[in-house]
A and B are shown apart, each in its own frame.
Chain A
Amino acid sequence: MKDTLEQKIPASCLKVAEFSDKKQYAEATFWERLRVRFHILHCKHCYTYHHKNKELTALIKKHEFKLLSKLEKEDIKAKLSL
């Protein structure tokens, strides 16, 4: 289902979505950032996606997540003998 939906999305939008994702982690290059900026000027869907993406990043950054590390999870699994 998801694949079908993704297949219906234009390749240019999928690329921009990837750049938008990279931008959330400050890993987008200058040209990738520029491409997002221009593309969202005329693409409503990507505009919405990019803004939701930014909102999500802000929401996550507001929070300090204390999670178990991989090692700690393995440790617990070992205690449970799983």
Chain B
Amino acid sequence: MSKLDLQPELWVEKYGDYFFYYTVSKVNDRETAKDIVSETFLAGLKSKANFEGRSSEKTWLSSILNRKIVDYYRKINSNKGKAEVKIDYTSQDQDGSWLEEQVSNSDSAENQMENKELGEAILSCLEHINPKHAEIFKMKTMQDYDNEVICKDMGITSSNLWVIIHRARTALASCLDNSWFKT
């Protein structure tokens, strides 16, 4: 992958939900997760020139995201959360292990199939289908939007909606077949 292959204009649509979902599971707070994800994209944009193309765009952004999550825990650990978060650790020198633990699944952001996290696997599979179809599928299946709202927002007819849903479900099932159902 060359530097030219970075597509920041697609980051939010392509990885936004996956990174957000991953971050919420780490920080347990929607607003914080949203901030961390947008900081990640911002940092990615700023350091675009440093992208050497040795890993995929997603892997590169994932490593930035993981650093941002560690930074977040460092910050709260140095403030009021200090007493609570260290409860399982007896000495100061174990700080490192605790931090590692908070991002213990850092590999899953890069290699979601290996850690068998269902939600991540589903969202990751959706990255491989037509972005518009994926968006419509998420609105319908995971966010419970009304058909009317989806059709209006996405500029499609009701019968188109079901064709798209069918294609998305078929593609998702086949992708999960190769990962989740087989395990």
**Min distance, Cβ A54 to any Cβ of chain B, angstroms:** 11
Q: Does B118 contact A (CB under 8 A)?
A: yes
Tell me, yes or no, whether A70 is within 8 Å of chain B by CB.
yes
Interface size class of A (residues with CB under 8 A): 20 to 34
Q: Interface SS of chain A: helix, strand, loop or mixed?
A: helix
Q: State in angstroms the CA–CA spacing of A55 and B176 once bound together.
A: 11
B: contact size bracket: 35 or more
Of B17, B123, B140, which one neighbours A25 at CB under 8 angstroms? B140
B146 to chain A, nearest CB (A): 11
- When distances are taken between beta carbons in the complex, the residues of chain B under 8 Å from A75 are 34, 38
State whether A60 and B166 are in contact (beta carbons under 8 Å apart), knowing that A53-B173, A55-B181, A70-B153 are contacts in the complex. Answer: no
Partner of A68, one of B17, B122, B162, B169: B17
- Please tell me if B4 contacts chain A, counting CB pairs below 8 Å: no
| Contact digits for B7-47, partner A, Cβ 8 Å, 1 yes 0 no | 01101110011001100100000100110011001100100
Interface residues of B (CB under 8 A from A): 8-9, 11-13, 16-17, 20-21, 24, 30, 33-34, 37-38, 41-42, 45, 118-119, 122-123, 138, 140-143, 147, 153, 162-163, 165-167, 169, 172-173, 176, 180-181
Name the 9 nearest CB pairs between A and B, nearest first: A65-B142, A76-B38, A67-B17, A66-B24, A68-B20, A63-B119, A52-B173, A18-B162, A73-B12
